[in-house]
Amino acid sequence: MNNKCDLTIVPPTFNEKDNIKPLLDMIGRAMKNKKIDYEVLFVDDSSDETPEVIEKEIKNRKNIQVRMIHRPKKRRTGLATAFIEGFEKARGEYICCIDSDLQHPPQIIPKLFEKALGDQAEIVFGTRYVKGGSAEGLGSLKTFYGVYRRAVSLGVKYFTQILFIPARQTSDPLGGLFLLKKSILKGVKLSPVGFKISVEVLMRTKHNKVSEVPYAFLARENDDSKATMKQGLEFFKHMWLIFTTIPEAGRFLKFCIVGGSGVFVNLGVLYGLVEFYEMNENFAWAIAVILSIFSNYLLNSLFTYSDKKSETRNESMRRIFIYYIISFLTMILNFLVYRLIINFGLHYIFGAFVGILAATILNFVLVTELVWRLKINVNNQK
Protein backbone atom coordinates (compact mmCIF):
# COMPACT_ATOMS: atom_id res chain seq x y z
CA MET A 1 0.00 0.00 0.00
CA ASN A 2 1.25 3.42 -0.93
CA ASN A 3 2.19 5.59 2.00
CA LYS A 4 0.99 8.88 0.58
CA CYS A 5 -2.05 9.93 -1.38
CA ASP A 6 -3.74 13.12 -2.55
CA LEU A 7 -6.72 13.13 -0.24
CA THR A 8 -7.92 11.51 2.96
CA ILE A 9 -11.65 11.71 3.58
CA VAL A 10 -12.37 11.55 7.32
CA PRO A 11 -15.94 10.71 8.32
CA PRO A 12 -16.28 10.35 12.10
CA THR A 13 -18.85 7.78 13.11
CA PHE A 14 -20.94 7.40 16.19
CA ASN A 15 -23.58 4.70 15.72
CA GLU A 16 -24.05 5.15 11.98
CA LYS A 17 -24.40 1.51 10.87
CA ASP A 18 -27.08 2.21 8.26
CA ASN A 19 -25.16 5.09 6.69
CA ILE A 20 -21.80 3.46 5.99
CA LYS A 21 -22.67 1.65 2.79
CA PRO A 22 -24.60 4.50 1.15
CA LEU A 23 -21.85 6.91 2.17
CA LEU A 24 -19.13 4.81 0.53
CA ASP A 25 -21.29 4.28 -2.55
CA MET A 26 -21.78 8.00 -2.90
CA ILE A 27 -18.11 8.78 -2.32
CA GLY A 28 -17.20 6.18 -4.94
CA ARG A 29 -19.56 7.76 -7.44
CA ALA A 30 -18.42 11.29 -6.67
CA MET A 31 -14.74 10.43 -7.06
CA LYS A 32 -15.12 8.29 -10.15
CA ASN A 33 -13.01 9.47 -13.10
CA LYS A 34 -11.51 12.25 -11.00
CA LYS A 35 -7.89 11.12 -11.02
CA ILE A 36 -7.62 11.86 -7.34
CA ASP A 37 -5.73 9.26 -5.35
CA TYR A 38 -7.80 9.11 -2.17
CA GLU A 39 -8.61 7.04 0.88
CA VAL A 40 -11.47 7.01 3.36
CA LEU A 41 -10.49 6.93 7.02
CA PHE A 42 -13.33 6.35 9.46
CA VAL A 43 -12.78 7.37 13.07
CA ASP A 44 -15.26 5.32 14.98
CA ASP A 45 -16.59 5.69 18.53
CA SER A 46 -19.68 3.57 18.11
CA SER A 47 -21.31 1.29 20.63
CA ASP A 48 -23.43 -0.47 17.97
CA GLU A 49 -22.41 -2.65 14.99
CA THR A 50 -20.95 0.24 12.99
CA PRO A 51 -17.33 -1.02 13.32
CA GLU A 52 -18.32 -4.47 12.01
CA VAL A 53 -20.12 -2.88 9.08
CA ILE A 54 -17.01 -0.81 8.31
CA GLU A 55 -14.74 -3.87 8.61
CA LYS A 56 -16.90 -5.65 6.09
CA GLU A 57 -16.63 -2.73 3.68
CA ILE A 58 -12.85 -2.64 4.13
CA LYS A 59 -12.70 -6.28 3.06
CA ASN A 60 -15.20 -6.13 0.24
CA ARG A 61 -14.60 -2.82 -1.48
CA LYS A 62 -12.02 -3.11 -4.13
CA ASN A 63 -12.34 0.30 -5.73
CA ILE A 64 -11.88 2.41 -2.58
CA GLN A 65 -9.13 2.32 0.00
CA VAL A 66 -10.95 2.25 3.30
CA ARG A 67 -9.38 2.31 6.73
CA MET A 68 -10.75 2.67 10.23
CA ILE A 69 -9.54 3.85 13.58
CA HIS A 70 -11.88 2.15 16.02
CA ARG A 71 -11.30 3.80 19.34
CA PRO A 72 -11.50 1.72 22.49
CA LYS A 73 -13.94 2.94 25.12
CA LYS A 74 -11.45 4.91 27.14
CA ARG A 75 -10.36 6.90 24.10
CA ARG A 76 -13.89 7.89 23.09
CA THR A 77 -13.57 11.46 24.15
CA GLY A 78 -15.74 13.22 21.62
CA LEU A 79 -15.71 14.52 18.10
CA ALA A 80 -12.76 16.91 18.40
CA THR A 81 -10.33 14.20 19.49
CA ALA A 82 -11.75 11.87 16.84
CA PHE A 83 -10.75 14.39 14.18
CA ILE A 84 -7.34 14.92 15.76
CA GLU A 85 -6.65 11.17 15.59
CA GLY A 86 -7.89 11.13 12.00
CA PHE A 87 -5.59 14.01 11.08
CA GLU A 88 -2.61 12.24 12.62
CA LYS A 89 -3.19 9.02 10.71
CA ALA A 90 -4.23 10.59 7.41
CA ARG A 91 -1.95 9.79 4.47
CA GLY A 92 -3.37 12.42 2.17
CA GLU A 93 -1.80 15.73 1.31
CA TYR A 94 -5.30 17.10 1.86
CA ILE A 95 -7.88 16.05 4.42
CA CYS A 96 -11.64 16.38 4.04
CA CYS A 97 -13.85 16.39 7.17
CA ILE A 98 -17.34 15.23 6.38
CA ASP A 99 -20.26 13.91 8.46
CA SER A 100 -20.99 10.24 7.99
CA ASP A 101 -24.76 10.64 8.27
CA LEU A 102 -25.19 11.84 4.66
CA GLN A 103 -26.18 15.35 5.70
CA HIS A 104 -23.08 16.55 3.89
CA PRO A 105 -23.44 15.46 0.24
CA PRO A 106 -20.28 13.56 -0.81
CA GLN A 107 -20.56 15.01 -4.35
CA ILE A 108 -18.94 18.14 -2.95
CA ILE A 109 -15.67 16.39 -2.01
CA PRO A 110 -13.96 16.63 -5.44
CA LYS A 111 -15.18 20.22 -5.74
CA LEU A 112 -13.52 21.15 -2.44
CA PHE A 113 -10.33 19.45 -3.58
CA GLU A 114 -10.28 21.11 -6.99
CA LYS A 115 -11.04 24.47 -5.41
CA ALA A 116 -8.05 24.06 -3.08
CA LEU A 117 -5.75 23.38 -6.02
CA GLY A 118 -7.27 26.05 -8.27
CA ASP A 119 -7.24 28.80 -5.64
CA GLN A 120 -4.07 27.57 -3.94
CA ALA A 121 -6.12 27.64 -0.75
CA GLU A 122 -4.96 25.74 2.31
CA ILE A 123 -8.51 25.52 3.65
CA VAL A 124 -11.76 25.19 1.69
CA PHE A 125 -15.14 25.29 3.41
CA GLY A 126 -18.39 23.86 2.22
CA THR A 127 -20.92 26.59 2.90
CA ARG A 128 -24.69 26.65 3.36
CA TYR A 129 -24.76 30.41 3.45
CA VAL A 130 -23.97 31.66 -0.05
CA LYS A 131 -25.94 31.43 -3.29
CA GLY A 132 -26.21 27.81 -4.32
CA GLY A 133 -26.10 26.55 -0.76
CA SER A 134 -28.89 25.87 1.69
CA ALA A 135 -29.46 24.96 5.31
CA GLU A 136 -32.67 23.10 4.62
CA GLY A 137 -31.50 20.02 6.50
CA LEU A 138 -31.74 21.96 9.74
CA GLY A 139 -35.51 21.75 9.36
CA SER A 140 -38.34 23.41 7.48
CA LEU A 141 -39.02 27.06 8.18
CA LYS A 142 -42.65 26.07 8.51
CA THR A 143 -41.98 24.16 11.72
CA PHE A 144 -41.04 25.53 15.10
CA TYR A 145 -38.14 23.10 15.36
CA GLY A 146 -36.73 24.19 11.99
CA VAL A 147 -36.93 27.87 12.82
CA TYR A 148 -35.36 27.20 16.21
CA ARG A 149 -32.43 25.17 14.82
CA ARG A 150 -31.71 27.70 12.11
CA ALA A 151 -31.83 30.56 14.57
CA VAL A 152 -29.41 28.75 16.89
CA SER A 153 -27.15 27.90 13.98
CA LEU A 154 -27.02 31.51 12.72
CA GLY A 155 -26.73 32.84 16.27
CA VAL A 156 -23.61 30.82 17.05
CA LYS A 157 -22.16 31.58 13.62
CA TYR A 158 -22.39 35.34 14.15
CA PHE A 159 -21.31 35.02 17.78
CA THR A 160 -18.16 33.25 16.61
CA GLN A 161 -17.51 35.66 13.76
CA ILE A 162 -18.01 38.81 15.82
CA LEU A 163 -15.63 37.54 18.45
CA PHE A 164 -12.95 35.92 16.30
CA ILE A 165 -11.63 37.62 13.18
CA PRO A 166 -10.26 34.43 11.49
CA ALA A 167 -13.75 32.90 11.62
CA ARG A 168 -14.83 35.60 9.14
CA GLN A 169 -12.73 34.01 6.40
CA THR A 170 -15.68 31.81 5.50
CA SER A 171 -19.44 32.31 5.56
CA ASP A 172 -19.91 28.93 7.28
CA PRO A 173 -17.20 28.30 9.89
CA LEU A 174 -19.34 25.88 11.91
CA GLY A 175 -20.91 23.70 9.24
CA GLY A 176 -18.43 20.90 9.84
CA LEU A 177 -17.74 20.28 6.14
CA PHE A 178 -14.31 21.44 5.04
CA LEU A 179 -11.01 20.45 3.51
CA LEU A 180 -7.54 21.38 4.67
CA LYS A 181 -3.99 20.92 3.59
CA LYS A 182 -2.32 18.60 6.03
CA SER A 183 0.92 20.56 6.11
CA ILE A 184 -0.69 23.53 7.90
CA LEU A 185 -1.16 21.31 10.96
CA LYS A 186 2.56 20.81 11.42
CA GLY A 187 3.61 22.05 14.86
CA VAL A 188 0.05 23.14 15.69
CA LYS A 189 -1.62 21.90 18.83
CA LEU A 190 -5.38 21.62 18.45
CA SER A 191 -7.59 21.74 21.50
CA PRO A 192 -9.52 18.52 22.11
CA VAL A 193 -12.73 20.22 23.25
CA GLY A 194 -16.11 20.24 21.57
CA PHE A 195 -17.59 19.63 18.13
CA LYS A 196 -16.00 22.41 16.09
CA ILE A 197 -12.57 21.39 14.93
CA SER A 198 -12.98 23.79 11.99
CA VAL A 199 -12.76 26.83 14.29
CA GLU A 200 -9.61 25.39 15.83
CA VAL A 201 -8.08 25.01 12.39
CA LEU A 202 -8.99 28.58 11.41
CA MET A 203 -7.73 30.05 14.66
CA ARG A 204 -4.53 28.12 15.25
CA THR A 205 -2.99 27.40 11.87
CA LYS A 206 -1.05 29.70 9.59
CA HIS A 207 -2.63 29.90 6.16
CA ASN A 208 -2.75 32.32 3.27
CA LYS A 209 -6.07 31.59 1.66
CA VAL A 210 -9.45 30.20 2.64
CA SER A 211 -11.99 29.45 -0.11
CA GLU A 212 -15.50 28.07 -0.13
CA VAL A 213 -17.92 26.01 -2.20
CA PRO A 214 -21.71 26.12 -1.66
CA TYR A 215 -23.70 22.99 -0.82
CA ALA A 216 -27.13 22.02 0.44
CA PHE A 217 -27.14 20.62 3.96
CA LEU A 218 -29.54 17.68 3.76
CA ALA A 219 -32.00 16.32 6.28
CA ARG A 220 -30.90 13.36 8.35
CA GLU A 221 -32.46 10.13 7.21
CA ASN A 222 -31.52 7.60 9.83
CA ASP A 223 -31.78 8.48 13.49
CA ASP A 224 -31.44 11.85 15.06
CA SER A 225 -28.78 14.45 15.39
CA LYS A 226 -26.48 13.74 18.27
CA ALA A 227 -26.31 17.44 19.10
CA THR A 228 -27.50 17.89 22.65
CA MET A 229 -27.74 20.57 25.28
CA LYS A 230 -24.49 19.29 26.69
CA GLN A 231 -22.81 19.93 23.35
CA GLY A 232 -24.23 23.44 23.33
CA LEU A 233 -22.48 24.09 26.63
CA GLU A 234 -19.33 22.43 25.34
CA PHE A 235 -19.41 24.82 22.41
CA PHE A 236 -19.26 27.84 24.68
CA LYS A 237 -16.59 26.20 26.81
CA HIS A 238 -14.61 25.65 23.62
CA MET A 239 -15.02 29.28 22.51
CA TRP A 240 -13.97 30.37 26.00
CA LEU A 241 -10.85 28.22 25.72
CA ILE A 242 -10.00 29.81 22.39
CA PHE A 243 -10.60 33.25 23.88
CA THR A 244 -8.33 32.62 26.83
CA THR A 245 -5.54 30.58 25.25
CA ILE A 246 -5.01 32.40 21.94
CA PRO A 247 -3.76 35.93 22.64
CA GLU A 248 -5.13 37.53 19.49
CA ALA A 249 -8.54 35.85 19.74
CA GLY A 250 -11.14 38.47 20.62
CA ARG A 251 -8.51 41.06 21.41
CA PHE A 252 -10.90 43.99 21.19
CA LEU A 253 -13.27 42.34 23.65
CA LYS A 254 -10.38 41.73 26.03
CA PHE A 255 -9.47 45.38 25.69
CA CYS A 256 -13.05 46.43 26.49
CA ILE A 257 -13.19 44.15 29.54
CA VAL A 258 -10.00 45.70 30.85
CA GLY A 259 -11.43 49.16 30.12
CA GLY A 260 -14.54 48.24 32.10
CA SER A 261 -12.41 47.15 35.03
CA GLY A 262 -10.70 50.55 34.88
CA VAL A 263 -14.02 52.23 35.59
CA PHE A 264 -14.26 50.33 38.87
CA VAL A 265 -10.68 51.13 39.83
CA ASN A 266 -11.35 54.78 39.07
CA LEU A 267 -14.55 54.97 41.11
CA GLY A 268 -13.13 52.91 43.97
CA VAL A 269 -10.03 55.06 44.34
CA LEU A 270 -12.05 58.25 44.07
CA TYR A 271 -14.50 57.09 46.72
CA GLY A 272 -11.73 55.90 49.05
CA LEU A 273 -9.73 59.11 48.84
CA VAL A 274 -12.70 61.40 49.32
CA GLU A 275 -14.49 59.38 52.00
CA PHE A 276 -11.61 58.04 54.06
CA TYR A 277 -8.84 60.53 53.45
CA GLU A 278 -11.08 63.55 53.06
CA MET A 279 -9.14 64.57 50.04
CA ASN A 280 -10.22 67.44 47.81
CA GLU A 281 -12.53 66.06 45.09
CA ASN A 282 -10.58 67.49 42.17
CA PHE A 283 -7.31 66.21 43.44
CA ALA A 284 -8.81 62.80 44.22
CA TRP A 285 -10.27 62.69 40.72
CA ALA A 286 -6.88 63.26 39.14
CA ILE A 287 -5.28 60.51 41.23
CA ALA A 288 -8.14 58.12 40.40
CA VAL A 289 -7.66 58.76 36.68
CA ILE A 290 -3.90 58.28 36.86
CA LEU A 291 -4.20 55.05 38.83
CA SER A 292 -6.95 53.59 36.67
CA ILE A 293 -4.91 54.22 33.53
CA PHE A 294 -2.03 52.42 35.19
CA SER A 295 -4.16 49.43 36.16
CA ASN A 296 -5.51 49.33 32.61
CA TYR A 297 -1.98 49.30 31.29
CA LEU A 298 -0.99 46.44 33.59
CA LEU A 299 -4.06 44.33 32.83
CA ASN A 300 -3.74 44.96 29.11
CA SER A 301 -0.16 43.82 29.11
CA LEU A 302 -1.04 40.69 31.10
CA PHE A 303 -4.30 39.82 29.36
CA THR A 304 -4.96 41.65 26.10
CA TYR A 305 -1.42 41.70 24.73
CA SER A 306 0.04 38.72 26.58
CA ASP A 307 1.87 37.70 23.42
CA LYS A 308 3.78 40.98 23.25
CA LYS A 309 5.59 41.19 26.55
CA SER A 310 8.17 43.91 27.13
CA GLU A 311 11.67 42.53 27.20
CA THR A 312 13.45 45.22 29.14
CA ARG A 313 12.59 47.65 31.86
CA ASN A 314 13.31 50.48 29.51
CA GLU A 315 10.80 49.17 27.07
CA SER A 316 8.16 48.92 29.80
CA MET A 317 8.80 52.50 30.86
CA ARG A 318 8.53 53.72 27.30
CA ARG A 319 5.31 51.80 26.80
CA ILE A 320 3.74 53.17 29.97
CA PHE A 321 4.69 56.68 28.91
CA ILE A 322 3.13 56.34 25.45
CA TYR A 323 0.12 54.64 26.98
CA TYR A 324 -0.53 57.67 29.21
CA ILE A 325 -0.21 60.09 26.33
CA ILE A 326 -2.68 58.05 24.25
CA SER A 327 -5.07 57.83 27.18
CA PHE A 328 -5.07 61.60 27.65
CA LEU A 329 -5.54 62.21 23.95
CA THR A 330 -8.50 59.88 23.78
CA MET A 331 -10.03 61.49 26.87
CA ILE A 332 -9.97 64.76 24.98
CA LEU A 333 -11.60 63.07 22.01
CA ASN A 334 -14.21 61.61 24.35
CA PHE A 335 -15.07 65.10 25.59
CA LEU A 336 -15.14 66.63 22.11
CA VAL A 337 -17.56 63.99 20.80
CA TYR A 338 -19.71 64.50 23.89
CA ARG A 339 -19.87 68.27 23.27
CA LEU A 340 -20.43 67.89 19.57
CA ILE A 341 -23.42 65.61 20.06
CA ILE A 342 -24.93 67.92 22.68
CA ASN A 343 -24.47 70.84 20.29
CA PHE A 344 -26.44 68.88 17.71
CA GLY A 345 -29.32 68.98 20.16
CA LEU A 346 -29.15 65.30 21.13
CA HIS A 347 -29.38 63.92 24.66
CA TYR A 348 -26.22 64.29 26.76
CA ILE A 349 -26.28 60.63 27.88
CA PHE A 350 -26.24 59.60 24.24
CA GLY A 351 -23.35 62.01 23.72
CA ALA A 352 -21.44 60.48 26.62
CA PHE A 353 -22.05 56.99 25.28
CA VAL A 354 -20.86 57.76 21.75
CA GLY A 355 -17.89 59.60 23.26
CA ILE A 356 -16.87 56.51 25.21
CA LEU A 357 -17.33 54.33 22.13
CA ALA A 358 -15.22 56.57 19.89
CA ALA A 359 -12.53 56.94 22.55
CA THR A 360 -12.38 53.17 23.15
CA ILE A 361 -11.96 52.39 19.47
CA LEU A 362 -9.31 55.06 18.93
CA ASN A 363 -7.55 53.98 22.09
CA PHE A 364 -7.51 50.37 20.92
CA VAL A 365 -6.14 51.23 17.51
CA LEU A 366 -3.46 53.53 18.89
CA VAL A 367 -2.21 51.27 21.66
CA THR A 368 -2.20 48.28 19.34
CA GLU A 369 -0.12 50.20 16.82
CA LEU A 370 2.07 52.30 19.07
CA VAL A 371 2.41 50.50 22.37
CA TRP A 372 2.11 46.82 21.54
CA ARG A 373 2.99 46.85 17.90
CA LEU A 374 4.58 43.60 16.76
CA LYS A 375 8.25 44.05 17.18
CA ILE A 376 10.36 43.61 14.09
CA ASN A 377 12.71 40.80 14.85
CA VAL A 378 16.13 42.34 14.42
CA ASN A 379 17.77 38.96 13.87
CA ASN A 380 15.64 38.32 10.82
CA GLN A 381 16.59 41.54 9.13
CA LYS A 382 19.13 41.46 6.40
Kindly indicate which of the ranges 7-15, 25-33, 269-277, 356-364 contains the residues binding ligand GDD, using the contact rule CB under 6 A. 7-15
By CB under 6 A, tell whether 99 contacts ligand GDD: yes
53 binds, options ligand GDD, Mn ion, none, Cβ within 5 to 8 A by partner type: none
- The residue whose Cβ lies closest to ligand GDD is 176
100 binds, options ligand GDD, Mn ion, none, Cβ within 5 to 8 A by partner type: ligand GDD
By CB under 6 A, tell whether 139 contacts ligand GDD: no
- Residue span 20-59 as binding mask against ligand GDD, x where in contact by CB under 6 A, dash where not: -----------------------xxx--------------
Number of residues binding to ligand GDD, judged by CB under 6 A:
23
143/245 with CB nearer Mn ion: 143
226 binds, options ligand GDD, Mn ion, none, Cβ within 5 to 8 A by partner type: ligand GDD
Which of 8, 127, 153, 334 lies at the binding interface for ligand GDD (CB under 6 A)? 153
Which three-class secondary structure string do you get for the chain? CCCCEEEEEECEECCCCCCHHHHHHHHHHHHCCCCCCEEEEEEECCCCCHHHHHHHHHHHCCCCEEEEEECCHHHCCCHHHHHHHHHHHCCEEEEEECCCCCCCCCCHHHHHHHHHHHHCCCEEEEECCCCCCECHHHCCCCCHHHHHHHHHHHHHHHHHHHHCHHHHHCCCCCCCCEEEEHHHHCCCCCCCCCCCHHHHHHHHCCCCCEEEEECECCCCCCCCCCCCHHHHHHHHHHHHHHHHHCCCCCHHHHHHHHHHHHHHHHHHHHHHHHHHCCCCHHHHHHHHHHHHHHHHHHHHHHHHCCCCCCCCHHHHHHHHHHHHHHHHHHHHHHHHHHHHHHHCCCCHHHHHHHHHHHHHHHHHHHHHHHHCCCCCCHHHCC
Query: What is the chain's Cα-based Rg?
Result: 26
Shortest distance, position 220 Cβ to Mn ion, whole Å: 5
Segment 171 to 190, residues that bind ligand GDD, using CB under 6 A: 174-176
Binding site for Mn ion (CB under 5 A): 101, 103
By CB under 6 A, tell whether 337 contacts ligand GDD: no
38/178 with CB nearer ligand GDD: 178
78/272 with CB nearer Mn ion: 78
Encoded amino acid at 110, one letter: P
Alpha carbon distance 264, 33 (integer Å):
66
15/306 with CB nearer Mn ion: 15
99/200 with CB nearer Mn ion: 99
218/356 with CB nearer Mn ion: 218
146/272 with CB nearer ligand GDD: 146
Which of 56, 226, 237, 309 lies at the binding interface for ligand GDD (CB under 6 A)? 226
Shortest distance, position 25 Cβ to ligand GDD, whole Å: 16
- Residue 200: count other Cβ atoms within 10 Å of its Cβ: 23
Interaction site with ligand GDD (CB under 6 A): 12-14, 16, 43-45, 78-79, 82, 99-101, 103, 138, 153, 174-176, 195, 225-227
